[in-house]
Each structure stands twice: as structure tokens, then as C-alpha cells.
């Protein structure tokens, strides 16, 4: 069946960023979105460089994906830090060591604190598998199915302290089919995530010139 999908903003309307962005990816699991971003960079669709991947999960498959691509992957296991703030301070240190300008949460399953947001104001993006503001938090696909919605999708938004609530950057809609399971619906949402996230990053890079520049001092 040829399913319609709707994505906004229109990819053709996204201007070219003035310069390539330096990305740091935060990922807790499989890393298919990391892969999609890396492929978009390779294809010349996203002018960016992935400087580092950070994971909190020793078992995360994203570690192997990063290794295959020769991208440094740093494990910061949240269990080894006394607080969320302490973990975020360690994350900021690694990001700054790698000169990262944009923090891209791709399947990152930890809440962030002001420590990260203050280091990267307006420069932390998250991907969520629903059309926000519906179905925030864990098991978003399950929530959508249980609610009986006929259209769901995925959202890229700027991260704020409140979970899944920051300003929305881009969204893609995905129809829910009568026979859908959580797995089948999540698979179709992920197809859209893989299109949407590189476009949303490109849009933020294009708009990024109005944000405060990253000084040398910030990277020390
Ligand atoms: C994605 O579907 C993403 O939307 C979701 O985790 C998956 C990661 O997949 N994120 C969240 O639920 C965050 N609240 P991936 O590891 O294959 O990129």
C-alpha cells in the first residue's frame, strides 16, 4: 500500500546553512538515527561533521555503528554518576573537548539538566516518536495506539528542562493502520525520523547564525 506521509517544513524550502555544523550525538540504544544523520552528511545533504557520539549504555549498538564509521564514541555510564547534573557536567566536558556546537539527542533516554542547557543554549535538539505535544514521555508509540489516533508521527524540538516540551522545529505525520502493532507502527515512524532529523538539523544550522557564536574560551 502506498501510504501518504506529510513532513513540515518543506525540505525544498530549507536554505543552505552558512557553514558546516559540528555535531555531538547523544544516543542510548540502536543508533539508526545516528546512522541516518551520518548518511545524510555523506550524501552532501547535511553540511555537518559528527565530532563525537556519547552513550550512557554499555550495550548500545550505536557504539558499533560509530566504530564502523571511525567516529569517536565515549561511554559515560549514568550509573557511575551521583546525580543527573554530574552526568551532564561530564557530557559537556566531552562535547567541548571535541569542539561540538550542536547537541543532537537521537534515542537519548535520560532527562537533561540546566548544566547541559546552559553550556549549549538553544543548541540541544531531541527527537520524539509522536506528534508533540501529544504522547510525551516513555512508550509514545504505545500511547498513540492505545488512544486510537489515526495519525501520529515524529517531532524534532529544541530541548528545555520540561520533558518533550521545547519549541518544535519539524514534524512528520504517519498514518496509523487498523492492523498496526507497536512494532509495525514504530518501524514506519522511524522511516520518517530518518528523513526528518537531518532536515531539522539542516534547518537549525541555517537559522543558527542568529545564535551566540561559540567562543574559543567556551571550548577550553
Ligand atoms: C527513536 O524512535 C526516537 O524517536 C526514540 O528512540 C528511538 C531511537 O531509535 N526516542 C525517544 O523515545 C526519546 N524520548 P534509534 O536508536 O534507532 O535512533
The Cα 51–Cα 206 span in angstroms is 19
- On whether the CB atoms of residues 99 and 111 are closer than 8 A, the answer is no
| d(C-alpha 191, C-alpha 209), whole Å | 30
Termini Cα distance of the chain: 54
Atom index in ligand 1 nearest the CA of residue 189 equals 2
**Predicted pLDDT at 210:** 65
pLDDT at 220: 38
Maximum Cα–Cα distance across the chain: 55
Domains defined for the chain, CATH in brackets = 6-10+20-208 (3.40.50.170)
The answer, yes or no, to whether any atom of ligand 1 lies below 6 A from the CB of 33, is yes
pLDDT at 1: 56
Ligand 1 atom closest to residue 28's alpha carbon, by position in its atom list = 16
Q: What is the pLDDT of residue 142?
A: 98
pLDDT of residue 216: 43
C-alpha distances (whole Å) from 49 to each of 34, 36, 44, 68, 181 are 12, 13, 11, 16, 36
**Closest Cα to residue 154, out of 172, 169, 166, 137?**
172
User: Ligand 1: which residue has its CA nearest to atom 6?
Assistant: 107
In this prediction, the residues of the chain whose per-residue pLDDT falls under 70 are: 1-5, 209-220
C-alpha separations of 119 from 49, 78, 147, 218 in Å: 19, 19, 38, 8
pTM of the model: 0.94
Cβ contacts of 8 within 8 Å, gap of 6 or more: 170, 171, 172
CA dihedral of residues 145, 154, 25, 212 (deg, nearest 10): -140
Q: What pLDDT does 124 receive?
A: 98
- Tell me the C-alpha distance between 100 and 20, whole Å: 12
Q: Is the CB of 192 under 6 A from ligand 1?
A: no
Active site residues: 128
pLDDT at position 146 is 98
* pLDDT score of 13: 86
The CB of 130 under 6 Å from ligand 1? The reply is no
Rounded alpha-carbon distances, angstroms, from residue 94 to 56, 82, 87, 192, 211: 13, 18, 11, 30, 22
Amino acid at each position: 500500500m502506498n501510504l501518504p506521509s506529510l513532513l513540515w517544513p518543506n525540505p525544498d524550502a530549507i536554505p543552505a546553512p552558512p557553514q558546516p555544523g559540528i555535531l555531538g550525538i547523544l544516543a542510548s540504544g540502536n543508533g539508526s538515527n545516528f546512522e541516518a544523520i551520518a548518511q545524510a552528511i555523506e550524501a552532501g545533504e547535511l553540511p555537518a561533521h559528527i565530532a563525537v557520539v556519547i552513550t550512557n549504555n554499555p550495550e548500545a549498538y550505536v557504539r558499533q555503528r560509530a566504530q564502523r564509521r571511525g567516529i569517536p564514541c565515549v561511554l559515560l555510564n549514568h550509573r557511575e554518576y551521583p546525580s543527573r547534573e554530574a552526568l551532564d557536567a561530564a557530557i559537556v566536558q566531552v562535547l567541548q573537548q571535541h569542539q561540538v556546537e550542536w547537541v543532537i539527542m537521537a534515542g537519548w533516554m535520560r532527562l537533561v539538566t540546566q548544566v547541559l542547557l546552559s553550556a549549549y543554549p538553544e543548541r540541544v535538539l531531541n527527537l520524539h516518536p509522536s506528534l508533540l505535544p501529544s504522547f510525551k514521555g516513555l512508550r509514545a508509540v504505545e500511547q498513540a495506539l492505545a488512544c486510537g489516533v489515526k495519525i501520529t508521527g515524529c517531532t524534532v524540538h529544541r530541548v528545555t528542562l520540561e520533558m518533550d516540551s521545547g519549541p518544535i522545529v519539524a514534524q512528520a505525520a504517519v498514518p496509523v493502520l487498523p492492523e498496526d502493532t507497536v512494532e509495525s507502527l514504530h518501524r514506519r515512524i522511524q522511516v520518517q525520523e530518518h528523513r526528518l532529523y537531518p532536515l531539522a538539523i539542516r534547518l537549525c544550522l541555517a537559522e543558527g547564525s542568529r545564535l551566540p557564536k561559540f567562543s574559543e574560551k567556551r571550548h577550553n
